[in-house]
Chains A and B, each alone.
Chain A
């Protein structure tokens, strides 16, 4: 079964707006990670949130985790055109990551 399903699949916003992406998962987790992928490139780790944390910040990124609902959200504030990319959540089992299909974010200048 698919762990880490993001929604929306695609999001288009104007520069300066906030972007929110959501992730749902099915089984218990120790932590959840968010990654970013620029078109045709590898993934880059953005942020990790542990199961005992509810919210975490890193620069313009804010991640929340609700283990009772098995969901997480990634908020990018004051978006920039350079934020245009695909964003993936990933759940952990041991050292293995299981990724969702991602949200394609387009930030229009």
Chain B
């Protein structure tokens, strides 16, 4: 079974802090994705990566950066957390083929105070 794990289920941070959200997948998938999910807005793509050290902006990259130093790990970084980044963050991975299903982690609920 594909397994996508996220470093924390719940996280509380203060405004201005640097926040790291980690995602690891164990199925040698080429593609990895970070989404945020907010009520009334659905899932929105923040960043994705097709390969190690490669990243592409999604629909809402502002205020975020990512790092993919190893194939299995994709990190989302909030350089200076703000209250409007309070959200559920979901990581996903998929094989390097177009149009296939994505496998999701359990999510990290981040609260920025």
Residue tally, chain A, CB below 8 Å to B: 23
- Residue in contact with A42 in the complex, picked from B31, B42, B100, B107, CB distance below 8 Å: B107
- The reply to whether A101 and B101 form a contact with Cβ atoms under 8 Å apart is no
Instruction: For A99, list chain B residues within 8 Å (CB).
Output: 35, 42-43
Chain A residues contacting B100 (CB-CB under 8 Å) are 48, 95
Whether A96 is near chain B, meaning CB under 8 Å from some CB there, is yes
* Partner-A contacts on B (CB < 8 A): 4, 31, 33, 35, 40-43, 45, 48, 50, 58, 88, 90, 92, 94, 96-107, 109
B58 contacts which chain A residues (CB < 8 A)? 96
Which chain B residues border A48 with CB–CB below 8 Å? 100-101
Q: Verify if A92 is at the interface (C-beta below 8 Å from B).
A: yes
